[in-house]
Amino acid sequence: MAAWRLIFVAYAVDPELGSEPGVGWNFLISALKQAHRSDGFVDLLCSQTSGAAVREHVNLLGCWADRLAVHSLSSERIERSLLGTPMLRIHYILWIREVRRYLSKVEAADERLYIHHVTFGSEILPVGLPKLRRQSFRVWGPVGSTGDPRIYDIHPRSMRHRAAALAQILRNAIADRVAGRNARRADLVLTQSDAVARRLQRRSITCYSFPNFVPSEDIVRAIAERRTTRQYRRGSASLLVVGQLTLNKRVDLAVSLLAEPELQTAQLIVAGSGPEAARLKRLAYALGVSDRVSWTGEVERLQVVELMRTSDVLLHLSAREGASGAVAEATMLGLPVVCFSTSGAAETLEYSEGPGIALSPRCSIARISLAVLEAIELTGRSEIWTIDRLDDLTRRLYGSSECIRSGREADVR
């Protein structure tokens, strides 16, 4: 019989996907390593789709596979019909009800129990942790994307930007209330940033700040091979945008920068795809800068590293962001970042101690263009983003006498 048991709650887990499924997989692998080290066992509660993905990749688990049991608590037929639609979140809410029923039974029977619910979609959605407390140690997170409606006020802007700003104001108000209520069901909340931690701590909730970016071995190897001294030639700046082309990413600001006097010879590479692609291309044409913008579409992460190596600045002007993997990778390479001070990108930049400039959300396109020129001159690289940083966290979360009860990763670096 195992010395301790972890119920790992993650609606989405898949090693081949990014975002929440990828985060879920990283946490699962790290938990299994800890179970193997200290005689623990992991029960995974997930969706049918994720359960199939985990079983399909069980060969990647190696000797850890015997420490895992997978429980899929939903209808596969219904789930598959909702994939890629907004209705999937309704399915998640129904799945959460099944999770709570399962945990209520398990908590009543098991004393040496840890429960970790990895956030899906948003901290606004309900958590699987039952309201009634038992003897288990409960963890929720990582949670918290940071958004600022003022970023939508920077020109160019339209009625769509005004609507997005209002939606962000509403989301911030709801998130503050709902996240606080959800967090009270946990003993410890992992947050993506210090800003989110401070909001929850005002409600007397115990938090540990841990941006969830963990580089893969391939990324670390590629970055080590590609680290070079940037050779910037004045007047020929190469700017880079990486990410989904959605309204909240404010890629339109990056395109508009090329029309500024200071950047009239700069080149912009946009690596990503999304619903705003056609509008952005029309904007580039209207500004007369389309010949200086390259649209790569969606690219593999290793290709992103190569683009970063040959660029002078990463523009990450998003209005809402959690822990930004693109910003973390840029700081590992020594590529300066320009972002807004009130977004999760700025939190990631500050955390990394890498080169970059975080601007006030009340600035203008002209100020952003000057920041780009300032950022180009910055040097330095981040050494914080290591492969084993998540293993260090889970070692202290599960089955350990030194369990984290509060604080920040920086406190133990």
CA angle 268, 302, 368 (to 5 degrees): 30
Walk me through the domains of the chain, giving residue ranges and CATH numbers.
Answer: 4-146+178-214+387-412 (3.40.50), 217-376 (3.40.50.2000)
Average pLDDT of the chain to the nearest whole number:
85
| C-alpha dist (Å) from residue 224 to 61, 66, 342, 383 | 26, 34, 31, 11
Say which residue, 405 or 240, is predicted with more confidence.
240
pLDDT the model gives residue 266: 95
pLDDT digits (tens, 9 = 90+) for 86-134: 566 777 888 888 898 888 888 777 667 889 998 765 677 788 888 766 6
pLDDT digits (tens, 9 = 90+) for 355-381: 999 999 999 999 999 999 999 999 898
pLDDT the model gives residue 238: 94
Structure tokens at 343: 């977004």
Separation of alpha carbons 332 and 354, rounded Å = 8
- Strand-pair partners of 253: none
pTM of the predicted protein model: 0.84
pLDDT digits (tens, 9 = 90+) for 317-370: 999 887 888 999 999 999 999 999 998 899 899 989 999 999 999 999 999 999
- Rounded to 5 degrees, φ, ψ at 265 are -115, 5
pLDDT digits (tens, 9 = 90+) for 224-278: 876 655 555 556 799 999 999 999 999 999 999 999 999 999 999 999 999 999 9
Mean of pLDDT values over 271-291: 95
What is the C-alpha R_g of the chain? 22
pLDDT the model gives residue 101: 87
Q: Which amino acid does the sequence have at 207?
A: C
pLDDT the model gives residue 168: 92
Mean of pLDDT values over 69-92: 69
- Rounded to 5 degrees, φ, ψ at 372 are -60, -45
pLDDT the model gives residue 133: 63
* Cβ(164)–Cβ(275) below 8 Å: no
Mean of pLDDT values over 154-165: 94
Residue 2 confidence class, pLDDT cut points 50, 70, 90: confident
| C-alpha dist (Å) from residue 284 to 253, 269, 304, 345 | 11, 12, 22, 25
